[in-house]
Structure 1
Amino acid sequence: MGFRHAVPAWRLRLEIRIAPIQRLKEALAEIRQVARDDPVLAADGAVALLEKLSPALEHVDSSSGAIGTAVNRTIDALVPVIAGVDVPVPVRMRWLDRLFDALQKDRMPYIERLGDRWGDLCTSPDIASSWADRLLPITARVMGAEGLGEHFAGTTACLSALNAAGRHEELLALVNGARLNWWGYRKYGVDALIALNRSAEALRYAEASRGLNAPTAAIARKCEAILLSSGMLDEAYRRYAIEANQTTTHLATFRAIAKKYPDRRADSILHDLVASSPGAEGKWFAAAKDAGMFDLGVSLAMRGPTDPRTLTRAARDFAQRKPEFAMACGTAALHWMAAGFGYEIMESDVMDAYDALAAAAVAGGIERDELNRRLRAQFAAVPGHSFVATVLAHHLLA
């Protein structure tokens, strides 16, 4: 079962330094394509790719975190490829041995997430139990009072295997006796309690994991999931929705919560989000616009700093459909630029906002002279020298 022709190791090792994220995408696409005709070959190729990842990336600049994110996504995509194929036990054990060797050699580390998925990779309670037995002696020592800061790459793999083997009480005893009250261990205890149908205790257990340097968002997500699975939607929303669903942007956060709680009104969700971040009201402008709450969007844009370019795009996009809203957005864009907000604002940004505002004014039946008069009054109220007023000086002449 060689996958070397599909994903040559030399190619991965040599080319991944040039465009690592793109190479990962190409390799993953290749494996998926092979899986349509030969899932066993694809699974073997997935193992080979995971074996080569860390050595290939060892000398690549990963300071931005983008490569780590791409590797995690790759692992999440490859684990089902490996776990989803039916092969004899000796074949699966050889794959697991190869992957565990890769984990041991993962110096950066890049593929440590594999440990979290070890129970899935084992595919059966018997295989998982055999791996738990294999890893348990070292894991117990490292986690226990005698660990003294030791690191063992198989610790999470052991915990994952114990859960997959159904050895939940044994896992709980191990985690409860750990030297550290660390979420990286305790999340497996939460899963064990859930598997034992002790959801209320699992919720308390997760909450008790909070503390200094604890990943509060991850704990909130686990608690939210427990309540949602128990049908306690209102409590899940009230206690955890905002903390558990924070993403890269305010708009994405709003969308994530709205998707998870479809029975809750969008305006109610947005008002709760705004209330949760006093002083940052303007950052929720895009969410209000996306939800069609235009009056609220305008209010938010003027209550707190809002990205001027986002406001300019809204003014341009809605100039013909909703000219009043577009005018308010364009006016707010110029206001926040004049107040010094926005990243590296240039003359072209000011002109883009003005042009969008002017187009909305025309669509709304307002003459250019009247628009300029309003802008002169707006900037006259701004103390000191205004970069925006200087850029627009020619247009604002009386």
Structure 2
Amino acid sequence: MAKTPAHKWAFKPGMRAGAYSWKSSAKAIERLKSASSEIRAVARVDPVTAAEGVIALAQRIWPAFEHIDTSSGALGNAVRRTLVELLPVLIEAPADEKTRAKWLEQLREAIEDDGVDYLAPIAHCFGQIAAYPALMNLHADRDLDMIEAAWSDHERFIHVPAASLTLSCLLEAGRHDELLALLACKKTHLWFDEKFGAEALLRQGREDDALAYAEALLQGDRRPWGYQDIAQFCERILVAQGREEEAYRRFGLPSVSGNTYLAMWRDLVKRYPDLDARRILEDLIETQGSKGKWFAAAKTAKYFDIALDCAAQPSAAPATLIRAARDFVIKEPAFAAQVGLHAIGHLLVGRGYDPNPFDIDEAVTHVMAASARIGQGERVLQELQRLAANTATDRIMSAQLQSRLADIERGNA
């Protein structure tokens, strides 16, 4: 019977050893994206071959990326995202024990050779990748004595590349007491390793012990490494116990995440669908501070009264307010008019990033258009005149507003 030819991976030539120079981070990230897409496409028709593609990629990451400047963190984040995305392909592939044994040896070698822990996501899931109890125990035992000896030496720090994969295998093999005893040897306790201990307690049904174990890492004046992951682990336990309000207050609010204030609010609303979304926004504003920065979140959530309170704060960005005034002229003209007035007030006292006199023109245009729709044109014009006369400290902005008001009075606006 003819042997099926090996799959020819398109990503391999671009992932050869030394392929990337010091400033090739962006190029390497694009290569990772294309490799991930290729592997996931194959997974839909041949999951075992796709899993072998994941291994091939993992083996090449450190040799290919060794000389790239990683100081920005962008490449490390991209590698982690890629591997987390591909881990299900590797874990769920329908491979027999012999095949998985070969895969594990290849992955172990790649992890041990990895210079910067690029392959940490794989090491942390090694027990799941092993799948078979015999393989879990084999890899749990291989370096167990060495790790215990290294971690028991409190006079010096000894890094063991195989530590995470060993912990993962102990966890998945159900050897919880051995796992906890091994972690107890360490002088320094970080979530990077301690999460295995917390999970071991949880799997034994010792929820309160797991909570205390994880929460102990949060003690101290400084936020520890992995703070959000620790807090969210504790949060999940409390939610599962029906203690949602406690989870929200103790861990949900402090561990909220997101690249924008709006994303932070959405993160908590998603995690706590039974809580009032308006209350969540108000709690975030109170706990996180910088009230003016929350304008976009409040506006998008259509809590216009909260948004106006935010718009009045010195930390509100005039440019953001002007865009909102423009966008809501027709849908919410009363809101648009007031937001525009706040923007003008901020510009007149010199607030905002790189403000331009023409920002005054644009804001006045939206304010007057919105006020006309609600029959408040005269009142708003008087408010603009008051602002020009009483609050201006930026002479350029003040002159621009005075000029625009003169045009309006002449009927040229």
Structure 2 length-normalised TM:
0.88
Is 1:269 aligned with 2:290?
A: no
Distance verdict in 2 for CA 1:18–1:67, change over 3 Å: closer
1:299 aligned residue: 309
Write the deviation string for residues 240-289 of structure 1: whole angstroms up to 9, x where unpaired: 111122322221111111111111111211121122134x1112222222
What is the CA distance between 1:350 and its match in structure 2?
A: 4.5
Which one of 367, 382, 390 corresponds to residue 381 of structure 1? 390
Is 1:289 aligned with 2:289?
A: no
Matches within 5 A, 1:3-152: 5-13=8-16, 14=19, 19-146=27-154, 148-152=156-160
The one-letter code matched in structure 2 to 1:248 is N
Once the two structures are overlaid, the 10-residue window that deviates more, 8-17 or 209-218, is 8-17
What is the CA distance between 1:371 and its match in structure 2?
A: 4.4
What is the CA distance between 1:17 and its match in structure 2?
A: 5.4
How many Å separate the matches in 1 of 2:187 and 2:6?
Answer: 43
The one-letter code matched in structure 2 to 1:229 is A
How many Å separate the matches in 2 of 1:342 and 1:68?
Answer: 34
Write the deviation string for residues 175-221 of structure 1: whole angstroms up to 9, x where unpaired: 12211132222221110110010001111111111234513322211
How many Å separate the matches in 2 of 1:255 and 1:222?
Answer: 19
1:190 aligned residue: 198
Q: Which runs of 5+ in 1 are unaligned?
A: none
Matched residue of 1:243: which SS?
coil
Give me the identity figure in percent.
35
1:250 aligned residue: 261
Give the conservation status (yes or no) of the 8 Å contact 1:112–1:153: no
Which one of 399, 403, 411 corresponds to residue 394 of structure 1? 403
The one-letter code matched in structure 2 to 1:335 is G
Which structure is larger by alpha-carbon Rg, 1 or 2? 2
Q: What CA RMSD, in Å, does the superposition of the two structures yield over aligned residues?
A: 2.4
How many Å separate the matches in 2 of 1:93 and 1:313?
Answer: 59
Matched residue of 1:130: which SS?
helix
How many Å separate the matches in 2 of 1:63 and 1:347?
Answer: 39
Distance verdict in 2 for CA 1:380–1:213, change over 3 Å: same
Give the conservation status (yes or no) of the 8 Å contact 1:347–1:391: yes
Matches within 5 A, 1:215-364: 215=225, 216-278=227-289, 280-347=290-357, 349-364=359-374
What is the CA distance between 1:136 and its match in structure 2?
A: 1.4
Q: Which runs of 5+ in 2 are unaligned?
A: none
Distance verdict in 2 for CA 1:190–1:339, change over 3 Å: farther
What is the CA distance between 1:349 and its match in structure 2?
A: 4.4
Write the deviation string for residues 71-126 of structure 1: whole angstroms up to 9, x where unpaired: 11111111110111111222212222222222222223423232222222222333
Distance verdict in 2 for CA 1:8–1:69, change over 3 Å: closer
Distance verdict in 2 for CA 1:106–1:321, change over 3 Å: same
What is the CA distance between 1:372 and its match in structure 2?
A: 4.8
Ranges of 4+ aligned residues in structure 1 off by more than 6 Å: 1-4
What is the CA distance between 1:301 and its match in structure 2?
A: 1.8
Write the deviation string for residues 342-383 of structure 1: whole angstroms up to 9, x where unpaired: 33334454444344334323333344x764542232143335
How many Å separate the matches in 2 of 1:287 and 1:36?
Answer: 39
Aligned length: 396
Matched residue of 2:405: which SS?
coil
How many Å separate the matches in 2 of 1:135 and 1:252?
Answer: 43
